Structure 1
Amino acid sequence: MPPNQRSRSLLQRHRGKLLISLTGIVALFTTGSVVVFFVKRWLYKQQLRITEEHFIKEQIKRRFEQTQEDSLYTIYELLPVWEMVLNENDLNLDSIITQLKDQKNQSTRQKSSESIESSPLKTKAELWNELELKSLIKLLTITYTVSSLILLTRLQLNILTRNEYLDSAIKLTMQQENHNKINHRLYDWVTSWWSNPQGKMVDSMTTKKLKKDGQEVYINEQAFLSLSWWILNRGWLDYNEIVTNQIEIEFQGIHPRDTLTLEEFSSRLTNIFQNINSQIFQQNNSSLISIFLPKGSGGQEFLLSQTLDPEALTCFHSNTLVFNQLINELSQCIESTATSIVLESLINESFHFIMNKVGMKTMAKKKPGQEEQQNYQMAVFSMSMKDCCQEMLQTAAGSAESGSVNEYLATLDSVQTLDDLSASVYSNFGVSSSYGFKD
């Protein structure tokens, strides 16, 4: 039999086996290709998910860091306003210094004042006594008020930023879901023009409602942020009263010419801080609540009337849901033990800052030949405290962005417990957000 015929007959006899083998090879190759495809697809999705999670974490971190910077810049902007409030409330130390410098011309001014029947000027001793008392009062009032203001601002902005992030995430999720149904929505939109002639009108009304809801949320947030007005115009007076009482007790009988060592001055200041803290850190921080927040509906209405224009106030009264939720969360934060710990940490840092600055300024005022002297007149301490107050309220050229830094604010801003509390509030995603979502 010829070779070609033998080959054909062999192929015919084994054709079934060959087909089965080829089919098996093809099936195996196809299955392998499908498996490889799905494995690659799964790996790609996992890589994409990890990349997205990393991006989200980095975005959350960046927004958190930016929020803390914004809080500091906000304090820089508020300090000049509060300094004006202090000066208007008889805590302008520069005016006392000016009067002391003018004592050389006192007799001339007294004669002039007698000719127009005006009140006599204060004596030099009276002015030094006033400087001693008011420099102490202003120094401690700044300490407690600025510490509270930094804490309040951190709480406010981290609460708002977290809610804003949650809303953005929810809206993004909704947009992705809507994108998956784009064809169906396009069909509905096209058919609505002939099946529902009023469709365009309904869409317009929906858009207007969304704009109105957005405006209400914005005004509610502005009302929430206006709480800083309260602490700078009303709340700080509670601190001022407590501080004044404690200073009068601790420094009673000590006159400007009397001398103290730095250790003795520090000891008296420590006693004042401890007594003030025992008063403000009461059960549930009830004293702090009245300093941070207006009392009752009357106080709240007064605050809003001072910070919102009439049109915004009318819009606010139409819907206070967001504001009430923000206030409730802030109140819970203020009443918490964690907040007490943070505020006390800020006050402690302030005390160390004060003693360091006052100590350096006092020693720098030594006259030649007094290098070994350990005692200092209270008048010298008063001048050092006055200079320290000026540094603590320093705002450079208007803001932190100008490049000049307020050392006191930078010290408080770097307190670790403050960052820990801010991170805790910012990451509290279990708190539900109602922005833009209403029944």
Structure 2
Amino acid sequence: MLSASRRWLKRNRTPLAVGIGVVGAGYVVTQYVLGKISDVRERMSSDRIARENLRRRFEQNQEDCTFTVLALLPTATDNILAELETERITFELQQQKAAKLARNGEPHPSELGSGPPSVTDVDDGKSMISSQSESGIHASQMGVPSQAVVGDGPQDGGQQVQKARKTKMQLWNDLKISAITRSFTLIYTLALLTLLTRIQLNLLGRRSYLSSVVSLASGGMEQSTISLENHDDDNSDQAYGNDFETNRQYLTFSWWLLHRGWKQVMLKVEEAVKEVFGALSIRDDITMERFSELTLEVRKRVEGATEAERNAGGWLEYVLPPKDQEDFVLKESGMASDRSTSEIAPLRRLIDETSDLVDSPPFSHVLTLLLDAGYSTLVDQKVAQQAFKMPPVPEISDIDGPRITEVVDTKVKLPIVLAILTRQAHSIGNGVPNEYLQAMEQVRDLEGFAAVVYSSNWESEIRPPEEEVPGTESLLGKGKAAETISSLQESVVNIDPIGALESAWGNAMETVEKTRAP
């Protein structure tokens, strides 16, 4: 039997060899394919985790932006309220009313019961606004003397009465301009601060995220995911996102908008308000439609009537200081350094990139949408419901400004509208919760704009050009800024935040590989 087996093997050794070879090759191929499949699965899982971590980190960054705006807004609000003292003008009108009642032998308003003191119109018998119920601040809190009798006594004669009436008319005109200007200025300041904060924190968030990518790619981190926490100051040898002092200096540039820029905005708004509302008498009745038209006209004068005018409007001077004032801003905010901003390359790049973004058409486009949301909340909701007693209507915002869905001919006295604006100014600047900020953050393109800022210009961040030295032109002044702005313009109407972030991990890894290449 043994010999028979040998003869059989000898006769079939070729087929057997072929079969064994085929089986072996199949095994090798199978193991190779299974290995490749396993690698692909691991890579897909790693990419999915990285993208999810990136998305979570981005969302956390946007929450930080909200809290930062809420923390900074009161500073600008206090400055604006101190400059435009609408309540003080209201109180002076109250004092004139009290003086007139005293001359006529009528009781002082404070003696008429528990109701709040009221301000009368320039004509007798027309009840107007209450400084306590409408503005939220009692007149006694303004620090004005308790009596301001003008023309008291028969010896003054008709000339003194005429002078008092002229003074009252002037006060009413000042109140009209002040109340409208203040609420509008606060909306512009809130919108600009929201966009500036998104740019700043997302640029710094990009640097921090890229620092984590570089550490992971170079084996500096044992974990296989990107950490959500910022450990930038844990290792001073890291190259990106770790310059804590530079980051602090960069963030303090919001000082300009909070202490200087808002005033430039106010002057521009005040000029437009005087031109549009100046001819409107305090005695006039006004409809909701008319007030919306006048508000839109003010916006056109401030922002521009067409898209081209809005893009060329130039908000940079309100948001960031000119170069010759940068060191002054650092000094005023307590960040004085022995080097100027032009000598700190990382800070210079951040400021220049911020300037390019603020001057870009996408910034103007998103700002218009934020202003639409803010004015819609003020005009279509607060004024419409509280002054004109209109029922709530769905919000409608478009590029030309807010619109109401139903035109009504209800007329109210202009001072009633001014009372609503006076009270809403405090809600815009100090509201808790801040309905105006919430309305602006619901604008989808705001998150899309932030996502593009967060996920662009990886290579410029990880490897600055060798030719860039202090005092020379910015990196973003030529090539990279143009690429970023161009990519923003392509999707300015429908920016997809998820799409913008989807490939950020891959872009970052490609950038790391490029920097490693000889």
State the Cα distance separating 1:417 from its structure 2 match. 2.1
Structure 2 CA distance for aligned equivalents of residues 285 and 225 of structure 1: 26
State the Cα distance separating 1:57 from its structure 2 match. 1.3
What is aligned with 1:60? 54
* Residues 170 and 82 of structure 1: CA distance in aligned 2, closer, same or farther (over 3 Å): same
CA contact (8 A) 1:217 1:435 kept: no
What is aligned with 1:290? 317
Structure 2 CA distance for aligned equivalents of residues 12 and 417 of structure 1: 82
* Residues 282 and 374 of structure 1: CA distance in aligned 2, closer, same or farther (over 3 Å): closer
Structure 2 CA distance for aligned equivalents of residues 217 and 239 of structure 1: 33
* Residues 219 and 438 of structure 1: CA distance in aligned 2, closer, same or farther (over 3 Å): farther
3-state DSSP of counterpart to 1:433: helix
Return the letter of the residue paired with 2:326: Q
Structure 2 CA distance for aligned equivalents of residues 161 and 420 of structure 1: 15
What is aligned with 1:392? 428
Return the letter of the residue paired with 1:374: T
Deviates more, 1:249-258 or 1:263-272: 249-258
Match of 2:383 among 358, 369, 373: 358
3-state DSSP of counterpart to 2:412: strand
1:154 matched to 2:198 = yes
What is aligned with 1:411? 439
State the Cα distance separating 1:146 from its structure 2 match. 1.0
Match of 2:70 among 53, 72, 76: 76
Return the letter of the residue paired with 2:414: M
TM normalised by structure 1 equals 0.76
- Give per-residue Cα distances to partners, 1:309-347, cap 9 Å, x unaligned: 44xx23776961111111111111112111111111222
Return the letter of the residue paired with 2:85: N
3-state DSSP of counterpart to 2:321: coil
Once the two structures are aligned, what percentage of the paired residues are identical? 25
Return the letter of the residue paired with 2:334: L
What is aligned with 1:202? none
Return the letter of the residue paired with 1:385: L
3-state DSSP of counterpart to 2:286: strand
3-state DSSP of counterpart to 1:210: coil
| Structure 1: gaps of 5 or more residues | 1-6, 115-119, 180-206, 366-371, 397-404
What is aligned with 1:345? 369
State the Cα distance separating 1:137 from its structure 2 match. 0.7
TM normalised by structure 2 equals 0.65
State the Cα distance separating 1:257 from its structure 2 match. 2.5
What is aligned with 2:157? none
CA contact (8 A) 2:210 2:240 kept: no
* Residues 28 and 289 of structure 1: CA distance in aligned 2, closer, same or farther (over 3 Å): same
3-state DSSP of counterpart to 2:338: helix
State the Cα distance separating 1:240 from its structure 2 match. 0.8
* Residues 252 and 210 of structure 1: CA distance in aligned 2, closer, same or farther (over 3 Å): same
State the Cα distance separating 1:85 from its structure 2 match. 1.3
Return the letter of the residue paired with 1:292: V
CA contact (8 A) 2:311 2:360 kept: yes
1:420 matched to 2:444 = no
State the Cα distance separating 1:420 from its structure 2 match. 2.1
5 Å-filtered alignment, 1:85-234, equals 85-89=79-83, 91-100=84-93, 109-110=147-148, 125-175=169-219, 210=237, 217-234=243-260
1:321 matched to 2:345 = yes
Structure 1 CA distance for aligned equivalents of residues 97 and 222 of structure 2: 81
Structure 2 CA distance for aligned equivalents of residues 131 and 164 of structure 1: 48
State the Cα distance separating 1:355 from its structure 2 match. 1.2
State the Cα distance separating 1:22 from its structure 2 match. 6.2
Match of 1:51 among 33, 45, 69: 45
* Residues 318 and 84 of structure 1: CA distance in aligned 2, closer, same or farther (over 3 Å): same
Return the letter of the residue paired with 1:84: D
Match of 1:237 among 263, 274, 277: 263
- Give per-residue Cα distances to partners, 1:118-151, cap 9 Å, x unaligned: xx9x966554333221111101111211111111
- Give per-residue Cα distances to partners, 1:346-384, cap 9 Å, x unaligned: 22222222212112121249xxxxxx9822211111101
Structure 1 CA distance for aligned equivalents of residues 301 and 342 of structure 2: 44
Return the letter of the residue paired with 1:269: T
The structure whose Rg is larger is 1
3-state DSSP of counterpart to 1:363: coil
State the Cα distance separating 1:72 from its structure 2 match. 1.2
- Give per-residue Cα distances to partners, 1:51-87, cap 9 Å, x unaligned: 1111111112112222222111111111222221123
* Residues 126 and 250 of structure 1: CA distance in aligned 2, closer, same or farther (over 3 Å): same
3-state DSSP of counterpart to 1:109: coil
Return the letter of the residue paired with 1:422: A
State the Cα distance separating 1:30 from its structure 2 match. 3.8
CA contact (8 A) 1:162 1:429 kept: no
Return the letter of the residue paired with 1:302: F
Match of 2:417 among 376, 381, 385: 381
Structure 2 CA distance for aligned equivalents of residues 21 and 103 of structure 1: 118
Deviates more, 1:268-277 or 1:248-257: 248-257
3-state DSSP of counterpart to 1:376: strand
Structure 2 CA distance for aligned equivalents of residues 382 and 318 of structure 1: 47
3-state DSSP of counterpart to 1:260: strand
